[in-house]
Structure 1
Amino acid sequence: MGDVTTDSPVLLLAPRVNETGLQLRTAAGLRGLRARTAASWQAPRELLGARVHVYGGPLFGDAVGRELGLALLEPSADWLARLPRVSTGRRVSATTLAEARGLRGPAFVKPPADKLFAARVYPDGGALPGPELLDGDTPVLVSEVVRFRAEYRLFVLDGAVRAGSRYAVDGELSVAPLGRDDREVAVFARDVLAASASAAPLPSAVVVDVGRTDDGWAVVEANAAWASGGYAAEPGDVLDVVLRSSGPAGQLGAADRPFCRELPDVVR
């Protein structure tokens, strides 16, 4: 790609582009949006001052976000724990790794955003990463163990589902369009987003994962759209959510300011 003017929006993809990134690059091209894959884990000098949106993991966002003047939206770390139990289908608490190390029985434990350690069921707190690996003040979510029979990814824009896909069945990867479950997913998602609006607000562009358990429907988690796989969701609709979730800070609406990822300074 040649020189980029400040008036020409660009979708910048992480160097290790995945299938969703390839789909987004095609979708961007179809609507006349410039797209390129970064050559390294540094902000391209020719894009400084341009209108840039990014798609990639947290490491890529941290590496280029501040220099490119981006606002990267992500849900609050305690979002899941603030939802009513009718939405989560289980007890969920937001705590620290130090507290979680004291667990005496099995629990599903995960870092809320960055993948600092494996998100899975731990037999007790002693099986979690020790203080020699991670600080005790590391935020974690601790959940009652439930079995999700099927799981679905929903790309949400302005409080409404824009695109979705099934991504797992009985804990194994199983990608498919929503199909016969789309009505049930839509009804549950509408209820969750309504409850979230008052109890636990979300950024205007976000990913929410939901699933079907033996007892009904439940929220799995929420994630940053700019760092989430699209699976079988319509790429053009996914692109709309990604662009809002990772655009220039100067275009950020007031309601989204509390959801901006804290970006580190990068020394070249």
Structure 2
Amino acid sequence: MTTASPVLLLAPRVNETSRRLRTAAGLRGLRARTATGWQAPRELLGAPVHVYGGPLFGDAVGRELGLALLEPAEDWLVRLPLALTGRRVAATTLAEARGLRGPAFVKPPADKAFAARVYPDGGALPGPELLDGDTPVLVSEVVRFRAEYRLFVLDGAVRAGSRYAEEAELSVAPLGRDGSEVLAFARDVLAASAAQAPLPSAVVVDVGRTDGGWAVVEANAAWASGGYAAESDAVLDVVLRSAGPLAQLPVADLPFRRELPEVVR
């Protein structure tokens, strides 16, 4: 049965963030439910739905539910100044990256088509029997992040944040004593981004501390990102904006819509 009440639909693979978002949604009177499978629930067709889950879930239910799933441009990191990235970053193809003669950090810009990590050379990347050569990738100089932080951004301002790693190992904690420095750097990043490399109105930006100072790690879709120790209610605000009804999408966010496949049942 179609309803006019907004619904937060969570992916069937439950994690700590989805549990916290479900609780936060309930506290503000928003209906929340966990999907039982990888398809759009029939009873929610035509309803104002928001989703939280990974790219596979978004692709599975997004078109049928009439959603706009926001994600940063694939070349966002490339367009930032070197002073903010802390290393040279290039957008290229997997075929080109297979020609690398030395170590580099290589990752898919959005989906997890292969592991994002430091590869000793291009020969260690997935071969043509696994992935097409025209698969887009980001290639960057190797830099060591001492600590990494996730920031949930809404309308160009940080709404919530959390530490998620130290020395490349999972280390979840509130922003703590580094909070003021993290937020100050984030303001510089968001100001530069607004001028040179726009972001969707709701997004996640990861930043980190290196031996040379602060640097941007990457940007990701809020509807598919873990919240770690970030304040759940603020995370929910960002998630709701990042993945909701297409009819409610602000015009400025149109360029950041994920292309959703048509699912054949």
The residue that corresponds to 2:204 in the other structure is: 207
* Match in the other structure for 1:48: 45
Structure 1 residue aligned with 2:166: 169
| Paired position in structure 1 for 2:72 | 75
**Corresponding residue for residue 9 of structure 2:** 12
Query: Counterparts of 1:250 and 1:4 in 2: how far apart (Å)?
Result: 16
Task: Supply the distance in 2 between the matched residues of 1:178 and 1:155 (Cα, whole angstroms).
Answer: 12
Contact 2:2 2:45 in 1 (8 A): no
Opposite residue 164 of structure 2, the aligned amino acid is Y
Structure 1 residues 122-159: Cα deviation after superposition (integer angstroms, max 9, x where no partner): 00001000111101110100010000000000000000
2:79–2:196: 8 Å Cα contact kept in structure 1? Answer: yes
The partner residue of 2:23 within 13, 23, 26 is 26
Tell me the TM-score normalised to structure 2 length: 0.99
Q: What is the total number of aligned residue pairs between the two structures?
A: 265
CA distance in 1, matches of 2:13, 2:185: 34
Return the alpha-carbon distance in structure 2 between the equivalents of residues 104 and 198 of structure 1.
35
The question of 1:105 aligning with 2:102 is answered: yes
**Does the 8 Å contact 2:2/2:46 carry over to 1?**
no
SS at match of 2:200: coil
- Note the C-alpha offset of 1:4: 5.0
Rounded Cα–Cα distance in structure 1 between residues aligned with 2:98 and 2:14: 36
CA distance, structure 2, for counterparts of residue 231 and residue 12 of structure 1: 19
Which runs of structure 1 show a deviation greater than 6 angstroms over 4 or more consecutive aligned residues? none
Indicate the RMSD between aligned Cα atoms, in angstroms. 0.6
Distance in 1 (CA, whole Å) between partners of 2:2 and 2:211 is 52
C-alpha distance in structure 2 between counterparts of 1:197 and 1:20, whole Å: 28
Q: In the TM superposition, what is the alpha-carbon distance from 1:70 to its structure 2 partner?
A: 0.1
Q: Give unpaired runs (5+ residues) of structure 1.
A: none
Matches within 5 A, 1:150-229: 150-229=147-226
Q: Give the C-alpha shift of residue 108 in structure 1.
A: 0.1
Percent identity over paired residues: 86
Whole-angstrom CA distance in 2 between matches of 1:137 and 1:208: 26
Deviation at 1:222, TM superposition (A): 0.3
Letter paired with 2:252: A
Question: Post-superposition shift, 1:198?
Answer: 1.1
Matched-pair contact (CA < 8 Å) for 2:80–2:192: yes
Correspondence for 2:57: 60
